[in-house]
Amino acid sequence: MSFSISKVDKNVGRETYLADIDLHLESGSQNVILGRTLAGKTTLLRIMAGLDRPTRGTIAENGRDITGMSVRRRNVAMVYQQFVNYPSLTVFDNIASPLKLAGMAKADVAKRVRETASVLHIDHLLDRLPQELSGGQQQRTAIARALVKDASLLLLDEPLVNLDYKLREELRAELREIFGKRDSIVVYTTTEPSEALMLGGNLVVLNEGRVLQTGPAEEVYRRPATAKVAEILSDPPINVIRTTVDAAKAHLGEGLAVPLDGHLTGLPPGEYLFGVRSHHLFLNRQHPRDIELTARVELAEINGSETFLHVTYNGRPLVVQEEGVHQRRIGSPLAFFVRSRKFYIFGKDGVLVRAPLFEDV
């Protein structure tokens, strides 16, 4: 099956939720829509499902216009952020509900339900009610109910967001394997770059209702089309330093200049934005050619086994990622290092000019 979205807009009053969306998806593809909260991810999924209609544009399946077709007439299944299960039904009957609605024979229903429950490791819970399950088990039940339909279009709207970290990690790995064995078109939304990259497949970067870039996830990560894409694809967001380039050097501000060698060679004079991900900023010099930058600590943010040090350099906020948990006094001086080969080069307009070599990303 092919599924196409052409020139789709969605307006609510004077607000634009989606603008000029063009996507083409094929059977067996895994597609991850990455965007921040309010980027338009849920609106796009609801239009794809037939729950909402676009203000403008067309939705087509195998070349046939289905824009006005109701969700009941489409071969689609959807999983939501919340654990949406029928509270009075057992896990078995929750999973079986779409098959029974379709009039499938009782023996076939039982076989399909048990096979799907086994894939999601909840086959031992089939006689329980949803309130007797953990959050992870409830979401597994909701996912099983979507999978059991064997729909040609499977939509998952941030399905793991309400689970704890350990459960999210566990289910991500399982879902990637499950999706890889299906012929359905899978569309999965997330706000987390790490989740998008872990799931892989085709990546769609969405921002303020517009598609900024699409392509294989690894390729988009390595060559973000704009600084905005690089920002959305990095957690913390990619650091950007205003830079002026002359015939011989790149001036990073505060009297710091670096020679135009490596992938900077031949860069035309002008103003640029040099981007570098936080994990490519180091607190210790690792190579004689490392560039030293200095600033003052404005915030030390402990995040699990890492500490994010927030500073301002050349008028722009930067985040330095430090391994381990560390306490640093606000206002204390900080020296950190970077190699010029790690820089992404964006024009003043934010469009990518040059990317680091493959092994330096």
Mean pLDDT of 352-359: 89
Q: pLDDT tens across 151-169, in order?
A: 999 999 999 998 888 888 8
Residue 308 to residue 301: CA distance in whole angstroms: 5
| Stated pTM of the model | 0.94
Domain count, the chain: 2
> In whole numbers, what is the pLDDT of the chain averaged over residues?
94
pLDDT tens, residue by residue, 13-24: 999 999 999 999
The average pLDDT across 9-34 equals: 97
Parent domain of 85 = 2-227
pLDDT more than 90, % of the chain: 86
What is the H or E stretch that residue 17 is in? strand 15-26
CATH of the domain at 24: 3.40.50.300
Whether residue 232 lies inside any domain: the answer is no
Nearest to 100 by CA among 117, 113, 116: 113
Higher pLDDT, 192 or 359: 192
CA distance 326 to 46: 44
Residue 59 forms part of a structural domain: yes
Task: Indicate whether 206 and 313 sit together in one domain.
Answer: no
Q: Are residues 94 and 10 in the same domain?
A: yes
pLDDT reading at 359 higher than 80: no
Q: Are residues 219 and 305 in the same domain?
A: no
What pLDDT is stored for residue 279 in this prediction? Answer: 92
pLDDT of 165 reads 84
pLDDT digits (tens, 9 = 90+) for 62-83: 999 999 999 999 999 999 988 8
Whether residues 332 and 251 fall in one domain:
yes
Above 80 in pLDDT, residue 358? no
At residue 289, the pLDDT reads: 86
Question: Is the predicted pLDDT of residue 336 greater than 90, yes or no?
Answer: yes
Last residue of a domain, one of 197, 227, 257: 227
pLDDT, tens digit, for every residue of 100-132?
999 999 999 999 999 999 999 999 999 999 999
Domain's final residue, options 171, 204, 227: 227
d(CA 355, CA 342): 8
Structure confidence by residue, pLDDT tens digits, 321-335: 988 888 889 999 999
Same domain, 333 and 218: no
Whether 123 and 130 have beta carbons less than 8 Å apart is answered as no
Residue 234 lies in a domain: no
261 and 130 housed in the same domain? no
- Say if residue 262 is in the same domain as residue 325: yes
Place of tokens 């560039």: 291
On whether both 320 and 275 belong to a single domain, the answer is: yes
Same-domain pairing of 50 and 182: yes
> 243-273 pLDDT, tens per residue?
999 999 999 988 899 999 999 999 999 999 9
Lowest mean pLDDT among 166-175, 191-200, 240-249: 166-175
State the pLDDT at residue 197.
95
Q: Same domain, yes or no, for 223 and 258?
A: no
**In the prediction, which pLDDT does 22 show?**
98
The whole-number pLDDT of residue 303 equals: 84
Which of 203, 227, 251 is the last residue before a domain boundary? Answer: 227
Note whether residue 329 is domain-resident. Answer: yes
Q: How much is the pLDDT for 242?
A: 95
